[in-house]
């Protein structure tokens, strides 16, 4: 379950009393090269007037070739991917891919990456980001922003600097940035050494998504880049056949904190990938922060099993209608206080994940809410109440199993002319 950016176990405070004795996860001291600070205890993302979201992908062979790499190869079969290609007789084998410096189309103060990697055996990837200050042009240090699979766990890492901080899986800045760069490290701890050419299994990355957001004062620029995804035609007043799973099915030890992996399990099953709930919970669990609610790890688990999945941001019902018309449910990160969401199965929450599976003709939302076994399947939530709890907390959504949309710009689109790149999705 997402506590919104992660560390507070909210559902323990909001689900029925049967969970009152469940163990509460605590924040691990992750350390920092600049301070000993921990990530924020609640979701710092916001929904100010004039906010614009931009989503871009690294996913094509051209995108991967544009980066710098060491002991990394590119596969152009099917979806283009980069993979570890380290033939050295050493342990562990490792490589690195660094993206080009991306000049963004808008100044931004929030950045959220997500990724689809495959990490067979004892292999894994980790991720760093740095950003360019819009005023001074100076680059931040490389900031650690997550890992997947089996990787190196350093006792200290940089998660903050003078103008910003990583909160588990997202970066929030105090000053606007106008550029970013991603770095991906690959590790393979398997024995004996095998290469992809020899038929061995190595870590690979086929999708890297970056969602950046900022307030745009210029009305013309805001109109140009703030219009969101193209609206799909079709029936949005319907309920998609997403199977319902209550989160407490993951067991009494963790059932009060597994809304995120439970929603992922429902979405994967809807896409035809059946996974045991507990297996998904344990895979998604973030040992560095002792939480199940790391957003990027939720979509990474779907990606590990062959589904296209990424994080995006939603701030309009037109966007939601479009997803439902396409047959795509959304997993939404919400937070609300006492009396703010009367139609919800809970009274309040410091952070929770739900799956939106449809809309009524009146525009209210049909939801699978894993918090309630008795009331959660197909519960109808009032649109205005959900908007406050969702968009007002940043509008984070998981998209799982959809076709990769052509309208989302890739790095190659940016390199060929950012001003003419398609509008990003939200």
In a domain, 154, yes or no: yes
In a domain, 269, yes or no: yes
CA dihedral of residues 294, 300, 301, 307 (deg, nearest 10): 140
- pLDDT recorded at residue 42: 64
Enter the tokens of residue 404. Answer: 């990769």
- pLDDT recorded at residue 407: 86
Enter the tokens of residue 327. Answer: 């047959």
In a domain, 84, yes or no: yes
Within this chain, do residues 391 and 253 fall inside the same structural domain, yes or no?
yes
Domain boundary among 203, 225, 247: 225
Q: Residue 40: left (phi > 0), alpha (psi -120 to 50), or beta?
A: beta
Within this chain, do residues 70 and 207 fall inside the same structural domain, yes or no?
yes
Q: How far apart are CA 339 and CA 346, in angstroms?
A: 10
- pLDDT recorded at residue 23: 29
Q: State the CATH number of the domain containing residue 175.
A: 2.60.120.260
CA dihedral of residues 327, 334, 392, 13 (deg, nearest 10): 170
Within this chain, do residues 87 and 215 fall inside the same structural domain, yes or no?
yes
- pLDDT recorded at residue 194: 53
H or E segment at 365?
strand 365-368
In a domain, 43, yes or no: no
* Average pLDDT estimate for 71-93: 91
Within this chain, do residues 16 and 102 fall inside the same structural domain, yes or no?
no
- Inform me whether the pLDDT recorded for 420 exceeds 90: no
Per-residue pLDDT tens digits for 115-172: 999 999 999 999 999 999 999 999 999 999 999 999 987 778 899 999 999 999 999 9
In a domain, 426, yes or no: no
- Inform me whether the pLDDT recorded for 12 exceeds 50: no
CB 116 within 8 A of CB 300: yes
In a domain, 36, yes or no: no
Q: How far apart are CA 263 and CA 57, in angstroms?
A: 24
Query: How many domains does the chain contain in total?
Result: 2
In a domain, 2, yes or no: no
Within this chain, do residues 95 and 206 fall inside the same structural domain, yes or no?
yes
Q: What is the 3-state secondary structure (H, E, C) of 276-315?
A: CHHHHHHHHCECCCCECCCHHHHHHHHHHCCCCEEEEECC
The pTM score is 0.89
* Average pLDDT estimate for 261-270: 98
Within this chain, do residues 198 and 236 fall inside the same structural domain, yes or no?
no
Instruction: Give the residue from 259, 246, 245, 247 showing the smallest Cα distance to 291.
Output: 259
Rg of the chain, C-alpha, whole Å? 20
- pLDDT recorded at residue 422: 47
Within this chain, do residues 261 and 173 fall inside the same structural domain, yes or no?
no
In a domain, 264, yes or no: yes
Within this chain, do residues 255 and 201 fall inside the same structural domain, yes or no?
no
Strands (E), 193-255: 204-215
Enter the tokens of residue 400. Answer: 């799982």
Question: What average pLDDT does the chain have?
Answer: 87
Enter the tokens of residue 419. Answer: 């001003």
With cut-offs at 50, 70 and 90, classify the pLDDT of residue 200.
low
Within this chain, do residues 154 and 266 fall inside the same structural domain, yes or no?
no
* Average pLDDT estimate for 208-214: 97
Within this chain, do residues 284 and 378 fall inside the same structural domain, yes or no?
yes
- pLDDT recorded at residue 369: 98
Q: How far apart are CA 51 and CA 299, in angstroms?
A: 24
Domain boundary among 225, 244, 261: 225
Domain of residue 300, residue span: 11-25+232-400
- pLDDT recorded at residue 20: 29
* Average pLDDT estimate for 218-240: 83
| Residue 316, φ and ψ in degrees, nearest 5 | -150, 150
With cut-offs at 50, 70 and 90, classify the pLDDT of residue 82.
very high
Q: State the CATH number of the domain containing residue 262.
A: 3.90.70.10
Q: How far apart are CA 108 and CA 104, in angstroms?
A: 8
Q: Which of 230-234, 257-261, 330-334, 377-381 has the lowest mean pLDDT?
A: 230-234
CB 259 within 8 A of CB 353: yes
- Inform me whether the pLDDT recorded for 309 exceeds 80: yes
- Inform me whether the pLDDT recorded for 96 exceeds 60: yes
Per-residue pLDDT tens digits for 277-298: 999 999 999 999 999 999 999 9
Enter the tokens of residue 373. Answer: 């076994």
Per-residue pLDDT tens digits for 311-335: 999 999 999 999 999 999 999 999 9
Within this chain, do residues 274 and 391 fall inside the same structural domain, yes or no?
yes
- pLDDT recorded at residue 231: 78
Within this chain, do residues 213 and 285 fall inside the same structural domain, yes or no?
no
Q: Considering Cα of 399, then 400, then 405, then 408, what sign does the dihedral take?
A: positive
- Our CA angle for 222, 387, 406, nearest 5°, is 50
- Inform me whether the pLDDT recorded for 15 exceeds 50: no
Instruction: Give the residue from 207, 188, 206 showing the smallest Cα distance to 198.
Output: 188
């Amino acid at each position: 379950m997402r506590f919104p950016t992660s560390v507070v176990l909210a559902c323990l405070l909001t689900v029925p009393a049967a969970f009152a004795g469940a163990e509460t996860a605590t924040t691990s001291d992750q350390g920092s090269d600049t301070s000993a600070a921990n990530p924020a205890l609640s979701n710092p993302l916001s929904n100010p007037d004039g906010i614009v979201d931009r989503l871009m992908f690294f996913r094509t062979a051209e995108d991967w070739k544009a980066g710098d790499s060491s002991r990394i190869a590119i596969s152009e079969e099917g979806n283009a991917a980069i993979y570890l290609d380290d033939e050295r007789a050493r342990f562990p084998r490792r490589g690195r891919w660094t993206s080009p410096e991306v000049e963004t189309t808008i100044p931004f103060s929030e950045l959220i990456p997500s990724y689809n990697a495959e990490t067979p055996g004892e292999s894994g990837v980790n991720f760093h980001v740095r950003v360019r200050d819009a005023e001074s042009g100076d680059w931040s240090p490389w900031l650690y922003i997550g890992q997947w699979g089996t990787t190196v766990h350093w006792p200290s890492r940089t998660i903050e600097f003078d103008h910003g901080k990583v909160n588990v899986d997202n970066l929030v800045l105090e000053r606007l940035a106008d550029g970013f760069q991603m770095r991906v490290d690959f590790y393979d701890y398997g024995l004996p050494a095998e290469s992809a050419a020899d038929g061995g299994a190595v870590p690979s990355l086929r999708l890297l998504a970056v969602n950046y957001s900022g307030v745009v004062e210029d009305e013309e620029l805001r109109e140009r880049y703030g219009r969101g995804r193209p609206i799909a035609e079709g029936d949005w007043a319907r309920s998609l056949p997403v199977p319902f799973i209550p989160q407490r099915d993951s067991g009494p030890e963790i059932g009060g904190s597994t809304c995120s992996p439970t929603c992922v399990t429902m979405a994967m099953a809807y896409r035809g990938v059946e996974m045991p709930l507990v297996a998904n919970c344990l895979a998604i669990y973030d040992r560095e922060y002792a939480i199940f609610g790391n957003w990027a790890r939720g979509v990474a688990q779907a990606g590990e099993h062959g589904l296209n999945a990424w994080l995006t941001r939603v701030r309009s019902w037109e966007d939601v209608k479009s997803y439902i018309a396409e047959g795509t449910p959304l997993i939404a990160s919400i937070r609300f206080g006492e009396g703010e969401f009367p139609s919800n199965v809970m009274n309040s929450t410091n952070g929770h994940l739900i799956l939106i599976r449809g809309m009524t003709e009146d525009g209210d939302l049909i939801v699978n809410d894993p918090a309630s076994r008795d009331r959660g399947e197909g519960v109808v939530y009032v649109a205005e109440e959900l908007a406050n709890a969702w968009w007002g907390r940043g509008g984070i959504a998981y998209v799982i199993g959809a076709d990769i949309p052509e309208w989302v710009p890739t790095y190659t689109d940016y390199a060929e002319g950012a001003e003419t790149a398609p509008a990003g999705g939200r």
